[in-house]
A = this chain, B = another copy of it.
């Protein structure tokens, strides 16, 4: 199996160098700035770039963060990937942005999102192949971390908007449990699904950034070598995997076993099987309401793709929506069955490597179920397909067990490429 180098700027490494006086916070910020200077003309990560000022206090001092442009910032335009919000300047910062700043991090730019974090693509390219999509919707945050612009990226996921771009860009991506991080000041697409989260070089870096930002004990233990018990989830959707992804998943399972981790097959419980179909009606119904203003007042400025989608989505009645919510709730209650013989699940992060072109950001089939169930997911980077393009493996843990997801991802990540 081919391997792929992890993203260059490790947040933990930078923080430790600053703490030990090896570099200053300003030096740390300039590392990524140089990369951005060299590559931004081709990559289109930012919209717009900002002038970094080192804030200098807190554990995240010297850590540069790119923020997906669906989170409000008072000091930079916030456009949600739509011309409707061209040069819009909110009065306040999103809660997550304030939390990052409060922890000492420096917001170095707003990053490209697809239109309202849905499927109509932005202009960002995949840093590992200019002719391929970086995935969506958190395109800029994923590409920026993968290319080494900034140590961490803030993104969001409603379908597969963070784990998928992490997979195809070769970054670690962390989708926290639903509502663990606030969506206040974030443009909603579907409020029962929209989940903010992070990109970083490694699982340990993601855990570090998320911990410092939230005050939660999510840190990865470097000394804990206990192998997690992995579940190889067998689902009705597995046919959507590419040949390369199938090989990567088998490789990951084999490596895990070789390092002493039990890997057992996990069947899909009936309530979970039924839940796959519940994501679409929930997303459709809520999107119609979340974008009601834009549809009523600026329909001409929506992409054809989104306008057509919303016209179809409007057919979802409250009854269909309520049914889907009940189906999702039953699946959440049944999700304990997945973990009877394992700690975490091992599943694909995407159908395969980055699709060709920039028009199609990829299929979220391997992400939607976990978003719907609100379970924490981490993309483990480090593998590559025959062409050397990144392929990610996804760790899924029970709801609320984010530390377990991050620790297991760290365990696998550090062994996949040894």
A83 to chain B, nearest CB (A): 12
Question: Are B286 and A92 in contact, with the CB atoms below 8 A?
Answer: no
Question: For the complex, is A128 an interface residue (Cβ under 8 Å from B)?
Answer: no
Q: A335 to chain B: which residues have CB within 8 Å? A: none
A102 interface neighbour in B95, B290, B296, Cβ under 8 Å: B296
List CB contacts (< 8 Å) of A181-203 with chain B: 182-185, 188, 191-192
User: How many copies of the chain does the oligomer comprise?
Assistant: 2
A7 to chain B, nearest CB (A): 28
Question: For the complex, is A88 an interface residue (Cβ under 8 Å from B)?
Answer: yes
Question: Are A216 and B88 in contact, with the CB atoms below 8 A?
Answer: no
Question: For the complex, is A297 an interface residue (Cβ under 8 Å from B)?
Answer: yes
A215 to chain B, nearest CB (A): 6
A236 to chain B, nearest CB (A): 29
Question: Are B191 and A293 in contact, with the CB atoms below 8 A?
Answer: no
Question: Are A98 and B318 in contact, with the CB atoms below 8 A?
Answer: no
Among A183, A292, A318, which residue has the most Cβ atoms of chain B within 10 A?
A292
A317 interface neighbour in B192, B215, B286, B293, Cβ under 8 Å: B215
A287 to chain B, nearest CB (A): 10
List CB contacts (< 8 Å) of A287-304 with chain B: 289-290, 292-294, 296-297
CA distance A92 to B214 in the complex (A): 29
Question: Are A98 and B179 in contact, with the CB atoms below 8 A?
Answer: no
A98 interface neighbour in B91, B192, B293, Cβ under 8 Å: B293
Question: Are B296 and A182 in contact, with the CB atoms below 8 A?
Answer: no
Closest B residue by C-beta to A294: B92
Closest B residue by C-beta to A322: B400
Closest B residue by C-beta to A93: B293
A86 to chain B, nearest CB (A): 10
List CB contacts (< 8 Å) of A95-114 with chain B: 95, 97-99, 101-102
CA distance A294 to B185 in the complex (A): 12
Question: Are B290 and A182 in contact, with the CB atoms below 8 A?
Answer: yes
With contacts A296-B98, A296-B102 known, is A191 near B185, CB below 8 A?
no
A320 to chain B, nearest CB (A): 11
Q: A294 to chain B: which residues have CB within 8 Å? A: 92
A91 interface neighbour in B88, B102, B183, B296, Cβ under 8 Å: B88
Question: Are A185 and B318 in contact, with the CB atoms below 8 A?
Answer: no
Question: For the complex, is A309 an interface residue (Cβ under 8 Å from B)?
Answer: no
With contacts A184-B188, A215-B317 known, is A293 near B92, CB below 8 A?
yes
> What mask results when residues 65 to 84 of chain A are scored 1 for a CB within 8 Å of chain B, else 0?
00000000010000000001
Question: Are A216 and B318 in contact, with the CB atoms below 8 A?
Answer: yes
Q: A98 to chain B: which residues have CB within 8 Å? A: 289, 292-293, 296
Closest B residue by C-beta to A94: B293
Q: A92 to chain B: which residues have CB within 8 Å? A: 84, 293-294, 297
CA distance A90 to B95 in the complex (A): 17
A73 to chain B, nearest CB (A): 10
Top 8 nearest A-B pairs (CB, nearest first) are A98-B292, A92-B293, A93-B293, A98-B293, A95-B289, A184-B188, A184-B290, A216-B318
A-B contact pairs, 29 of them (CB 8 A): A74-B293, A84-B92, A85-B91, A90-B90, A92-B294, A92-B297, A93-B297, A94-B293, A95-B289, A95-B292, A95-B293, A97-B293, A98-B292, A98-B293, A98-B296, A102-B292, A179-B191, A182-B188, A182-B191, A182-B289, A183-B191, A184-B188, A184-B290, A185-B293, A214-B318, A215-B317, A215-B318, A216-B318, A217-B318
Given contacts A84-B91, A85-B91, A184-B289, 16 further A-B contacts (CB under 8 A): A92-B294, A93-B292, A94-B293, A95-B289, A95-B292, A98-B289, A98-B296, A99-B289, A99-B292, A102-B292, A182-B188, A182-B191, A182-B289, A184-B188, A216-B318, A217-B318
Chain A residues close to B by CB (< 8 Å)? 74, 84-85, 88, 90-95, 97-99, 101-102, 179, 182-185, 188, 191-192, 214-217, 286, 289-290, 292-294, 296-297, 317-318
